[in-house]
Chains A and B, each alone.
Chain A
Amino acid sequence: MSRQIRRMSFVFGLLFVALLANVTLIQVINADDYRSRAGNQRVLLAEYDRERGPILVASDPVARSVETGNTLTYLRTYSNGPLFAPVTGFYSLVYGATGLERTENRILNGKSNIFAVDRVQQLVSGRQPIGGAVTTTINAAAQKAAFSGLKGKRGAVVAIEPATGRILASVQMPSFNPNRLSSHDPADIRAYYDELEADPDKPLLNRPIVSLNPPGSTFKVVVAAAALASGRFTADSVLPGPKTYKLPNSSKELRNWTGKECGPDGKVTLRQALAISCNTAFAWLGNELGAAALRDQSEAFGFNNGFEIPLRAATSLFPQDPDAPQTALSAIGQFDVRATALQMAMVMASVGNSGRTMNPYLVQEIRGPDLSILQTTDPSQFADALKPSNSLSLTDMLVNVVENGTGSNAKIPGVRVAGKTGTAQTGNDAPSVAWFVSFAPAAAPKVAVAVVIEESGSTEISGNGLAAPIAKAVMEAVLGR
């Protein structure tokens, strides 16, 4: 019988080997696949079991993890949630994460390789990894100024530091409360999310970087830059500025918003055309320069390019192959030209920064759990948009807009402000959007701002009336006035 028993033990040996192989397959070889499956609560629970690092504005945590003593050990809390929501995003049990919570997840949950040294210690000590901190480029005062300026309106504000590309403010209205989406109560999270989704004003949309609107007259800044860059025009070049401009190859006519000629005898200088936002002169100028020149100029400012700040911004568009009437319309920021607030802030920042377009960014520093700085974002240039001499000339024209033209509401006593208003129709009989874009101080700007207000009134005044005061408040906040 001994031989049979040996044979049986051999068979059971084989069965045990099969068990060992199978658990190895599950726990080692396929483990990553299983861990990443939707429906695996463990990954999420493990995330909630770790102290997630804070998101800082200056040294102030606007998002941090608070211990609860429950199954989900840590609760993500946002001080002033709606104010910083477009930056932080939310961190939800049900809907995952958005904003910096998503893009910087591996920093915040401590799994990034920059913490490799810590990780060895953790392995030895058996401690759970603690997340690192993310310091944003946001200026709290500018953010608050933009937020209170937007109250009761629907729109977005982006402010950029021209020399670096640091994003100083990114604000939307309406906003949402990330605390409610990041709670530990799935039923309430779902209810609140459904409520936000059903809201026609789309509070969950990251308006400052995602919402695309026709830039209207603010696009004239780009056209003026292209005109200077062509070498054929200076600020004092005289352009035709009649009452109406007949679109080429079309029976349609384009009118000035005043219904009047832009200057005596229907003639106007480029400087004056920009100051009073003369549509006929810019439509003519657009066709003189041609679609290719306008597109090249707009792309040097960042159009037709998707930026990751590291949140993914929507690509602002200049149309690929417009015909002559479409080019004329594009030159006044209509037709298929679309821009985010971020994009228009970048245009102004580039003009103020001697024509150097900087890559915009939102993360200033990455810090370890002990708050030691592990990584700092260095400013980087995206493109050369203007020659320095042309940028000076354009700045001068834009200062003129605020001091003598349509942008009067952005005047700050004792500071030279460069700016441009804009109003655009989003469609026939559709509500308009009001814009104001600016930078200050003109000579060495510390801040460039773009304010966009959707569903405003329909007159050109609204850019100056609605948006300019907000831009002014943001600039003042940055300048410490």
Chain B
Amino acid sequence: MSNRRNVELVLLVFAWLLGILGTLQVGWATGEGTPPRLWITTGAVALIALVMHLVVRFRATYADPIMLPVGTLLTILGLIMIYRLDVADARRAQLNDAPIPTPDVYSQLTWFAIAGILFCGVLILLRDHRRLQRYTFTFGLLGLFLMVLPLAPVIGTTVNGATLWIRIGTFSFQPAEIAKILITIFFAGYLVKTRDSLALVRTKVLGVGLPRAKDLGPIVIAWAVSLGVLVFQRDLGTSLLFFGLFVSMLYIATQRRSWLFIGFFLFLGGAYFAYSTFGHVQARVTVWFDPWAYADTTGYQIVQSIYGLANGGILGAGLGQGFPNLVPFASTDFIVSALGEELGVTGIFAILLLYAILIERGLRTAITCRDGFGQLLAAGLSITFALQVFVIIGGVTGLVPLTGLTTPFLSYGGSSLIANWVILALLLRISDRSRRPDLSKVSPDDAMTQVVPRVNQS
């Protein structure tokens, strides 16, 4: 067997064992002792991972063997840190004679299970990623709808200044996370059709070849939508993510560097407009320039984050031995600084390396994919990971202005976890397609299942 499914299984077991060790270390180092539900929770994780593995084994046999273990390990690391922060929150509540808050780790575990089901669902129901291309505009409209949904009355909710959430009863969700996927599919489908006209039809302006005004339409629309997100939902991160994603995909599709320059200048214009118009953007940028001057007010989060990271040093305080709960939103936006405090710069390097592997594998899938749509989709999905990781980790470490994005797989939050696992499923589906051996060279006897080739003409 050259499909490397056993490698995947071994890596998954390794990730699971690391999870047990980490959980035990948190329990012991914080003095909580062995977590009472250790075998239930780790058993649940093992079950989810095993089911995902089996689905990949039988439904995406040739898929990349590294991505599933990497996603699982990142999710497990997130679960460990969320559990660790639960312990800290419970301690603090005890100290203040407040009721002990509901632990987050169980709901995150539930979200992981749901994410696992959706992951399997995508792989089982979607046998060929090219089917998605049929619904390009449906997905586009649906994505746009989901993005504006938080602005709807009654269900739309504003949390920490950003209108990103919908709430129905006690259930809340960030539709932009799902919209991210739908819009990437839309971009891929749209660009694969129009790239020739976008790339080839040029008008010369002052000696520089530029696309025609009517071909500029889509990028202007994407730019406007990004700005709209910024204006109406006050969410810098998502706005940046969408625009960066669109420009990157446009560049890949058209192979024209001019799009990058156009995109860059549009970004500069948009950034200047946002900076001069919106107080919250201005505040973010001011804090980014000198967080220390606002250490007690608007710069509090980032300063605490830097203190936490510095406390971690090279090897980290050790799981359960730092003070990650001093950073606000430690389990969501700032989970990387929590991990950095307890696992040190070594731990952050490891985590960034995991992301780099994931993204590299995704981009490699894109390169080896045989159809343009698959190429664009795989590249786009990988780029969402890359942009998100850069923007949020850069934000919490003060490299770029802080924006509210989740850290893929690690952050506490159902919408984000589900969306990222669906992205992973799509990448594995494309990867399975592109790595599948040439059918003409496989005799029917060697094939595990009989393969009926099916070709979609677009």
Q: Which residues of A contact B (CB under 8 A)?
A: 1-6, 8-9, 12-13, 15-16, 18-20, 22-24, 26-28, 30-35, 37, 39-43, 45-46, 70-71, 126, 128
- Given A1-B372, A23-B397, A27-B344, the answer on whether A35 and B311 have CB atoms closer than 8 Å is yes
Interface string of B362-396 (1 = CB under 8 A from A): 01001100001001100100010010011001100
- Given A23-B345, A70-B95, the answer on whether A5 and B313 have CB atoms closer than 8 Å is no
Segment from B70-78, B247-255, B261-269 that makes contact with A: B247-255
**Could you tell me if B306 and A5 are in contact, using CB atoms closer than 8 angstroms?**
no
**Could you tell me if B397 and A22 are in contact, using CB atoms closer than 8 angstroms?**
yes
Chain A residues near B313 (CB-CB < 8 A): 27-28, 31
Task: Kindly list the 6 A-B residue pairs having the minimum CB-CB distance in the complex, ordered from nearest.
Answer: A34-B310, A27-B345, A31-B310, A4-B252, A12-B386, A22-B399
Chain A residues near B348 (CB-CB < 8 A): 23, 27
**Could you tell me if B310 and A27 are in contact, using CB atoms closer than 8 angstroms?**
yes
Closest residue on chain A to residue B393 by CB atoms: A19
Chain A residues near B95 (CB-CB < 8 A): 70-71
**Could you tell me if A1 and B376 are in contact, using CB atoms closer than 8 angstroms?**
yes
The CA-CA distance from A9 to B352 in the complex, in Å, is 15
Chain B residues near A71 (CB-CB < 8 A): 91-92, 95
Q: Is B270 an interface residue (CB 8 A)?
A: no
Contact of B367 (CB < 8 Å), options: A5, A13, A31? A5
Contact of B352 (CB < 8 Å), options: A5, A16, A34? A16
**Could you tell me if A22 and B394 are in contact, using CB atoms closer than 8 angstroms?**
yes
Chain B residues near A128 (CB-CB < 8 A): 321
- Given A28-B345, A34-B310, the answer on whether A23 and B376 have CB atoms closer than 8 Å is no
- Given A18-B399, A22-B394, the answer on whether A34 and B306 have CB atoms closer than 8 Å is yes
Closest CB in chain A relative to B85 CB, distance in Å: 14
**Could you tell me if B345 and A35 are in contact, using CB atoms closer than 8 angstroms?**
no
Q: Is B215 an interface residue (CB 8 A)?
A: no
- Given A19-B352, A34-B310, A71-B95, the answer on whether A9 and B363 have CB atoms closer than 8 Å is yes
Closest residue on chain B to residue A30 by CB atoms: B310
Contact of A1 (CB < 8 Å), options: B252, B310, B326? B252
Closest CB in chain A relative to B239 CB, distance in Å: 18
Closest CB in chain A relative to B86 CB, distance in Å: 15
The CA-CA distance from A39 to B303 in the complex, in Å, is 10
The CA-CA distance from A28 to B248 in the complex, in Å, is 34
Closest CB in chain B relative to A109 CB, distance in Å: 15
Chain A residues near B398 (CB-CB < 8 A): 22, 26
Chain A residues near B394 (CB-CB < 8 A): 15, 18-19, 22
Chain B residues near A39 (CB-CB < 8 A): 295-296, 303
Closest residue on chain B to residue A9 by CB atoms: B363
Contact of A12 (CB < 8 Å), options: B367, B376, B390? B390
**Could you tell me if A42 and B307 are in contact, using CB atoms closer than 8 angstroms?**
yes
The CA-CA distance from A20 to B309 in the complex, in Å, is 13
Q: Is B124 an interface residue (CB 8 A)?
A: no
Give 21 pairs: A residue, B residue, CB < 8 Å, sorted on A: A1-B379, A4-B252, A5-B366, A12-B383, A13-B356, A15-B386, A15-B394, A18-B394, A18-B399, A19-B352, A20-B349, A20-B352, A22-B398, A23-B345, A23-B349, A27-B313, A28-B313, A39-B296, A41-B307, A41-B326, A71-B95
Q: Is B318 an interface residue (CB 8 A)?
A: yes
The CA-CA distance from A230 to B379 in the complex, in Å, is 97
The CA-CA distance from A343 to B278 in the complex, in Å, is 66
Q: Is B29 an interface residue (CB 8 A)?
A: yes
Chain A residues near B355 (CB-CB < 8 A): 16
**Could you tell me if A19 and B390 are in contact, using CB atoms closer than 8 angstroms?**
yes
**Could you tell me if B251 and A126 are in contact, using CB atoms closer than 8 angstroms?**
no
**Could you tell me if A34 and B372 are in contact, using CB atoms closer than 8 angstroms?**
no
Closest residue on chain A to residue B303 by CB atoms: A39
Q: Is B323 an interface residue (CB 8 A)?
A: yes
**Could you tell me if A126 and B318 are in contact, using CB atoms closer than 8 angstroms?**
yes
Chain A residues near B390 (CB-CB < 8 A): 12, 15-16, 19
Q: A22-B398, A126-B321 are in contact. List 16 more A-B contacts (CB 8 A).
A: A2-B375, A4-B255, A6-B367, A9-B359, A13-B356, A15-B390, A20-B349, A26-B310, A27-B313, A27-B314, A31-B310, A45-B323, A46-B323, A71-B92, A71-B95, A126-B318
Interface hub of A3, A22, A27 (most chain B Cβ within 10 A) = A27
Chain A residues near B248 (CB-CB < 8 A): 8
Interface hub of A12, A28, A32, A126 (most chain B Cβ within 10 A) = A12
- Given A35-B311, A40-B307, the answer on whether A27 and B367 have CB atoms closer than 8 Å is no
Contact of A19 (CB < 8 Å), options: B252, B372, B397? B397
Chain B residues near A15 (CB-CB < 8 A): 386, 390, 394
Contact of B251 (CB < 8 Å), options: A4, A31, A35, A43? A4
- Given A12-B390, A20-B349, the answer on whether A27 and B312 have CB atoms closer than 8 Å is yes
Q: Which residues of B contact A (CB under 8 A)?
A: 29, 91-92, 95, 248, 251-253, 255, 295-296, 303, 306-314, 318, 321-323, 326, 340, 344-345, 348-349, 352, 355-356, 359-360, 363, 366-367, 372, 375-376, 379, 383, 386, 389-390, 393-394, 397-399
Chain B residues near A12 (CB-CB < 8 A): 359, 383, 386, 390
Closest CB in chain B relative to A439 CB, distance in Å: 52
Chain B residues near A45 (CB-CB < 8 A): 323, 326
Chain A residues near B366 (CB-CB < 8 A): 1, 5
Chain A residues near B345 (CB-CB < 8 A): 23-24, 27-28
**Could you tell me if B311 and A26 are in contact, using CB atoms closer than 8 angstroms?**
no
Closest residue on chain B to residue A42 by CB atoms: B311
Chain A residues near B253 (CB-CB < 8 A): 1
Closest CB in chain A relative to B340 CB, distance in Å: 7
Closest residue on chain B to residue A36 by CB atoms: B310
**Could you tell me if B383 and A19 are in contact, using CB atoms closer than 8 angstroms?**
no
The CA-CA distance from A39 to B397 in the complex, in Å, is 18
Closest residue on chain A to residue B296 by CB atoms: A39
The CA-CA distance from A33 to B308 in the complex, in Å, is 13
Contact of A5 (CB < 8 Å), options: B296, B375, B399? B375
The CA-CA distance from A32 to B363 in the complex, in Å, is 39
**Could you tell me if B251 and A8 are in contact, using CB atoms closer than 8 angstroms?**
yes
**Could you tell me if A19 and B399 are in contact, using CB atoms closer than 8 angstroms?**
yes
Chain A residues near B379 (CB-CB < 8 A): 1, 5, 8
**Could you tell me if B252 and A23 are in contact, using CB atoms closer than 8 angstroms?**
no
- Given A19-B390, A27-B348, the answer on whether A5 and B307 have CB atoms closer than 8 Å is no
The CA-CA distance from A31 to B306 in the complex, in Å, is 9
The CA-CA distance from A28 to B312 in the complex, in Å, is 9
The CA-CA distance from A176 to B310 in the complex, in Å, is 37
The CA-CA distance from A16 to B354 in the complex, in Å, is 11
The CA-CA distance from A34 to B306 in the complex, in Å, is 8
Closest residue on chain A to residue B394 by CB atoms: A19
**Could you tell me if B363 and A3 are in contact, using CB atoms closer than 8 angstroms?**
no
Chain A residues near B92 (CB-CB < 8 A): 71
Closest CB in chain A relative to B187 CB, distance in Å: 14
The CA-CA distance from A128 to B252 in the complex, in Å, is 52
The CA-CA distance from A40 to B309 in the complex, in Å, is 12
Chain B residues near A8 (CB-CB < 8 A): 248, 251-252, 363, 379, 383
**Could you tell me if A23 and B307 are in contact, using CB atoms closer than 8 angstroms?**
no
Closest residue on chain B to residue A34 by CB atoms: B310
Chain A residues near B397 (CB-CB < 8 A): 19, 22-23, 26
Closest residue on chain B to residue A37 by CB atoms: B307
**Could you tell me if A34 and B321 are in contact, using CB atoms closer than 8 angstroms?**
no
Closest residue on chain B to residue A22 by CB atoms: B399
**Could you tell me if A23 and B295 are in contact, using CB atoms closer than 8 angstroms?**
no
Closest residue on chain B to residue A2 by CB atoms: B367
Chain B residues near A26 (CB-CB < 8 A): 306, 309-310, 397-398
Chain B residues near A20 (CB-CB < 8 A): 349, 352
Closest residue on chain A to residue B255 by CB atoms: A4
Closest CB in chain B relative to A41 CB, distance in Å: 6
Closest CB in chain A relative to B373 CB, distance in Å: 11
Closest CB in chain A relative to B432 CB, distance in Å: 19
